């Protein structure tokens, strides 16, 4: 276990490689710990004023492609006096050897000890990475509790979507950043730089106070939580006069000023995504009531078609990737997606470069897109997400997709050469019945029948993938109760039987699902408060690692940890998960401002029960969700009227890319 230390941070960090290298032949996939990827940056330690260690708390194969970490890595390393390196979660085989041989958590660039850095930034896209955070802190030799850390320890900053409710890990992190990170990391860097240049006055407490005063960095130690006798929160208030009552999210408005990544990391080992990814717009106003990402990333901000084209050409020339992913929450909703895809398809006609839209709405995919995405003969996977099997449940969740939309879309795909599509649904949604779930089977059958009729071929397949619904903070469903795992699993068994009830159709339908147990634990973590930190620590002490991986996740370990820790607070696992909240309850994240008006969220929650559909405010009048006025922002939509081509090289060495406006 970690022991608090007051040892000063070294002027020059020594590499742990001499101790690490002999261990690598004894572990699986040792290359993931070696570093040296194309795009990696190794800077001189002694010339850096501020040093960041960046982590995506999962294995290298999952963490390296994470675009958020790659962007921050590049933004920070562009500053001459700043150094940023990466670290990932180590597999249990290496963890055991590191403990035996005294090797600390290390970065992959120069294999420096994470504890030697000024800031340790962790980006969470899922709460199931919390146990990996504790492993990294402990391996690094950093005290587990933020309250026990000294000036010699790095400031641990959480970011990513899960940071919109960091309360379950409030004891373990020093700070959290809500929202976009590009400008936030520069502001944090400036504060750390100035504090160090002044001789670190006031120590760690003063540095954290300066961060808190920005009103966009949340420092949990400066806030106290009071509870009511029934376990609910009474209030969350600052414990000192010079910190804000509410902390606001960061919103980067001009994406063209931030054309990252320019030099994408090219992995040495196999990863889950091997492509050059361009975020073509940020935010979503479709209003799906379950979707935290769509709610917390408002407003919509489009990257211009010309910047996208320039980024793609520069990124491909640098990396050698053969696939371009045009990323967003709903990529086909970009106002110039047609011209963008046709321009890129034309630019790379006759090459082995393929285009993909990893996130495509059923009602936004059309024959023109299908033809452009398959022009060079390579067809990447197509995934569509109706989310709910029945029209009724789709109205509840505000997923405005009809069955006719779905059939038209998959027929378009099949007739343009695709032979398999993936359909994603959720189980356990509010007001859901068995019949709502069984409708998924009927829809899948209709997809296969329509595909066979349109193509005249039986070589047509679809995969039905089911995920468990998890209520998330800052969404209309943040008040909703969860279904118990046995209910979810029972419905999934019935669904599988229904799919296979017609053998001719069923054999063309793949069925993949996540059972209800991991979803319930994710629900505990997503809507938990500070008391849940005791559960996380108990799970970790009992061996919890890589809880996002089914082969490592243990539901019983979480149930036992909750039973051992929560009754002391007068609550239990069901209290956090299967209980519906009322309108006046203080939620653990109410002091963290996503820009969304809580009254509007409550109204939309009530609208869901009456199956009222909310329009997309990109194309209709504002319906007062609160984001634009509270964030002093506005929705940015095209079209720009510009075309993608031609792209203008600079002496064959690169492209004219907009110059960032940051320092």
**Three-state SS for 121?**
strand
Q: Strand 217-218 and strand 175-177: pairing?
A: antiparallel
Q: Are 179 and 296 in contact (CB under 8 A)?
A: yes
pLDDT at 660: 42
Residues 6+ away with beta carbon under 8 Å from 3: 141, 143
Q: Are 291 and 237 in contact (CB under 8 A)?
A: no
Helix axes 182-197, 67-77, angle to 10 degrees: 40
Q: Are 176 and 220 in contact (CB under 8 A)?
A: yes
Q: Are 479 and 580 in contact (CB under 8 A)?
A: yes
pLDDT at 663: 41
Nearest to 35, CA basis, from 340, 267, 376, 298: 267
Q: Are 196 and 11 in contact (CB under 8 A)?
A: no
With residue 426 as reference, give the H or E element that holds it: strand 420-427
Place of tokens 């390296």: 64
From residue 503, give the alpha-carbon distance in Å to each of 375, 437, 510, 514, 593: 35, 19, 12, 23, 51
Nearest to 48, CA basis, from 119, 100, 99: 119
Q: Strand 276-279 and strand 323-327: pairing?
A: parallel
Length of the chain: 663
pLDDT at 3: 36
Q: Are 544 and 131 in contact (CB under 8 A)?
A: yes
Counting beta carbons within 10 angstroms of the beta carbon of residue 582, is it exposed (0 to 12), middle (13 to 18) or buried (19 or more)? exposed
Q: Are 226 and 235 in contact (CB under 8 A)?
A: yes
Strand partners, 276: 324
Q: Strand 281-282 and strand 276-279: pairing?
A: unpaired
Residues 6+ away with beta carbon under 8 Å from 652: none
Residues 245, 249, 250, 253, CA torsion sign: negative
**Three-state SS for 509?**
strand
Q: Are 174 and 157 in contact (CB under 8 A)?
A: yes
From residue 479, give the alpha-carbon distance in Å to each of 293, 397, 440, 448: 17, 14, 26, 37
**Three-state SS for 649?**
strand
From residue 413, give the alpha-carbon distance in Å to each of 367, 371, 421, 512, 577: 8, 9, 8, 21, 39
For residues 136 and 111, what is the distance between their CA atoms, to the nearest angstrom? 14
Q: Are 380 and 354 in contact (CB under 8 A)?
A: yes
For residues 376 and 346, what is the distance between their CA atoms, to the nearest angstrom? 10
pLDDT at 165: 98
Tokens, residue 658: 């907009």
Q: Where are the alpha helices (DSSP H) in 14-105?
A: 17-20, 60-63, 67-77, 92-101
Q: Are 529 and 590 in contact (CB under 8 A)?
A: no
Counting beta carbons within 10 angstroms of the beta carbon of residue 195, is it exposed (0 to 12), middle (13 to 18) or buried (19 or more)? buried
Q: Are 4 and 150 in contact (CB under 8 A)?
A: yes
Instruction: Give the mean pLDDT per block of 10 residues along the chain (663 residues).
Output: 47 86 97 96 97 97 95 98 98 98 98 98 95 98 98 97 96 97 97 98 97 97 98 97 95 94 93 92 91 93 94 94 91 89 88 81 74 70 88 94 89 88 95 97 96 93 95 98 96 97 96 93 98 98 96 97 98 98 98 95 95 80 79 67 50 38 45
Angle at 38 between CA 140 and CA 84, to 5 degrees: 35
Q: Are 401 and 370 in contact (CB under 8 A)?
A: no
Residues 6+ away with beta carbon under 8 Å from 495: 427, 437, 438, 440, 441, 466, 511
- CA-based R_g, the chain, Å: 25
pLDDT at 374: 73
For residues 125 and 67, what is the distance between their CA atoms, to the nearest angstrom? 11
Q: Are 343 and 373 in contact (CB under 8 A)?
A: no
For residues 298 and 158, what is the distance between their CA atoms, to the nearest angstrom? 20
Residues 6+ away with beta carbon under 8 Å from 303: 255, 256, 259, 278, 279, 280, 281
Q: Are 459 and 507 in contact (CB under 8 A)?
A: no
For residues 46 and 113, what is the distance between their CA atoms, to the nearest angstrom? 15
Chain-centroid distance of CA 506 in Å reads: 33
Q: What is the DSSP string of 429-493?
A: -TT--HHHHHHHHHHHHHHHHHHHHHHS-S--EEEEEEEE----TTSGGGGPPPPPHHHHHHHHH
DSSP single-letter state for residue 179:
B
Chain-centroid distance of CA 182 in Å reads: 15
């Amino acid at each position: 276990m970690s022991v608090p230390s007051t040892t000063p941070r070294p002027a020059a960090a020594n590499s742990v490689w001499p101790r690490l290298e002999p261990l690598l032949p004894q572990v699986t996939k040792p290359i993931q710990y070696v570093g040296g990827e194309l795009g990696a940056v190794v800077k001189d330690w002694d010339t850096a004023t501020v040093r960041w260690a960046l982590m995506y708390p999962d294995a290298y194969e999952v963490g390296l492609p994470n675009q958020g970490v790659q962007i921050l890595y590049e933004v920070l390393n562009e500053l001459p006096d700043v150094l940023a390196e990466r670290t990932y979660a180590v597999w249990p085989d290496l963890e055991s050897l590191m403990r035996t041989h005294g090797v600390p958590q290390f970065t992959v660039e120069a294999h420096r000890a994470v504890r030697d850095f000024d800031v340790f930034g962790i980006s969470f896209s899922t709460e199931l990475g919390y146990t990996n955070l504790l492993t990294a802190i402990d391996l690094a030799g950093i005290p587990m509790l933020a309250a026990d850390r000294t000036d010699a320890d790095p400031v641990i900053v959480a970011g990513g979507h899960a940071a919109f409710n960091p309360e379950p890990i409030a004891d373990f992190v020093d700070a959290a950043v809500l929202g976009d990170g590009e400008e936030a990391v520069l502001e944090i860097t400036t504060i750390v730089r100035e504090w160090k240049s002044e001789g670190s006055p006031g120590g760690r407490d003063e540095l954290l106070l300066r961060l808190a005063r920005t009103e966009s960095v949340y420092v949990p130690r400066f806030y106290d939580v009071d509870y009511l006798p029934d376990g609910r929160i009474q209030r969350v208030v600052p414990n000192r006069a010079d910190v804000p009552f509410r902390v606001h999210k960061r919103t980067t408005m001009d994406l063209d000023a931030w054309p990252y990544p320019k030099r994408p990391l090219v992995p040495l080992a196999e990863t889950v995504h091997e492509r050059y990814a361009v975020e073509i717009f940020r935010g979503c106003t479709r209003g799906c009531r379950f979707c935290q990402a769509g709610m917390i990333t408002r407003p919509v901000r489009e990257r211009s078609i010309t910047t996208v084209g320039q980024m793609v050409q520069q990124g491909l020339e640098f990396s050698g990737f053969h696939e371009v992913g045009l990323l967003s929450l709903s990529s086909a909703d970009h106002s110039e997606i047609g011209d963008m895809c046709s321009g890129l398809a034309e630019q790379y006609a006759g090459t082995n470069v393929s285009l993909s839209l990893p996130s495509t709405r059923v009602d936004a995919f059309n024959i023109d897109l299908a033809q452009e995405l398959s022009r060079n003969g390579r067809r990447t996977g197509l995934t569509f997400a109706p989310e709910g099997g029945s029209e009724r449940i789709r109205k509840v969740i505000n997923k405005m997709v009809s069955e006719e939309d779905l059939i038209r879309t998959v027929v378009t795909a099949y007739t343009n050469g695709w032979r398999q599509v993936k359909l994603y649904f959720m189980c356990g949604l509010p007001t859901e019945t068995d019949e709502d779930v069984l409708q998924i089977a009927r829809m899948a059958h209709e997809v296969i029948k329509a595909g066979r009729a349109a193509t005249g071929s039986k070589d047509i397949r679809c995969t039905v993938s089911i995920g468990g619904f998890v209520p998330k903070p800052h969404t209309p469903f943040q008040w909703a109760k969860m279904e118990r795992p046995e209910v979810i699993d029972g419905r999934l068994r019935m669904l599988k039987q229904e799919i296979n009830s017609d053998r001719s159709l069923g054999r063309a339908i793949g069925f993949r699902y996540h059972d209800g147990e991991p979803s319930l634990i994710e629900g505990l973590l997503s809507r938990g408060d500070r008391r849940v930190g005791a559960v996380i620590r108990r799970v970790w002490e009992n061996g919890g690692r890589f809880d996002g991986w089914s082969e490592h996740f243990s539901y019983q370990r979480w149930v036992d940890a909750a039973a051992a820790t929560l009754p002391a607070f007068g609550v239990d696992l069901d209290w956090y998960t299967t209980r519906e909240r009322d309108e006046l309850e203080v939620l653990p994240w109410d002091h963290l401002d996503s820009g969304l008006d809580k009254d509007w969220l409550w109204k939309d929650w009530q609208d869901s029960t009456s199956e009222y559909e909310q329009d997309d405010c990109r194309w209709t009048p504002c319906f007062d969700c609160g984001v634009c006025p509270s964030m002093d922002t506005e929705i940015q939509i095209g079209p720009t009227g510009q075309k993608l081509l031609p792209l203008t090289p600079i002496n064959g060495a690169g492209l004219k890319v907009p110059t960032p406006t940051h320092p």
